[in-house]
Amino acid sequence: MGINATIFKVELQIADLDRQYYHDHSLTIARHPSETDERMMVRVLAFARHASEQLGFGKGLSTEGEPDLWLKTLTDEIELWIDVGQPDEKHIRRACGRARQVFIYAYGGNMADNWWQQNQKHLKQLDKLAVYQVPEQASKALADLVQRTMQIQCTIQDGEMMFTDGEMTVQLVLQVLKPAD
């Protein structure tokens, strides 16, 4: 019998001045047993950056062929496909074939740098794809915010993101590896 996912509750208040999006979201996040706090919080970061009422978490690690987050239309077309980490090129190409826009949020310092160096030639050719890297210090600091029940405020302004739980604050600017077309 496998180990069950751990459930986290996140009250996420978003003030995205860049998109003029101001909303509170009550998120229930199932963290796969093999997923780290750092990876889970990069998923929260990606949610905050693309937040909308229709954006939802996919099954991610537990289901091949599904993203970490996605936004689907009422006719089940995939508008946004969002993955975190260092997905393989084949997975990304498949995502670009299925979705209108694909976003990758790489993290992990040297591992992410190596992944980008190995894949950038092919990934730069995919017009639906945007790739960002979360600074290593920031992704590790986001992991320090993790509790089973979290209240987090996220402010986005001029490309800078700030997350706070009232006690600790994490500020970051995503590194653009490949901009959205």
| pLDDT tens for each residue of the chain, 181 residues long | 457 889 999 999 999 999 999 999 999 999 988 899 999 999 999 999 999 999 999 876 555 778 999 999 999 999 999 999 999 999 999 999 999 999 999 999 999 999 999 999 999 999 999 999 999 999 999 999 999 999 999 999 999 999 999 999 999 999 999 998 7
- Residue 69's pLDDT is what? 96
Q: Which CATH number fits domain 6-178: 3.10.640.10, 2.60.120.200, 3.30.565.10, 3.30.465.10?
A: 3.10.640.10
3-state secondary structure of 173: strand
**DSSP secondary structure letter of residue 109:** T
CA pair distance 47, 23, nearest whole angstrom: 12
- Residue 2's pLDDT is what? 58
- Residue 25's pLDDT is what? 98
pTM over 0.85: yes
- Residue 60's pLDDT is what? 60
Nearest to 84 by CA among 139, 126, 162, 121: 139
| Element (DSSP H or E) covering residue 94 | helix 89-98
CA pair distance 156, 34, nearest whole angstrom: 30
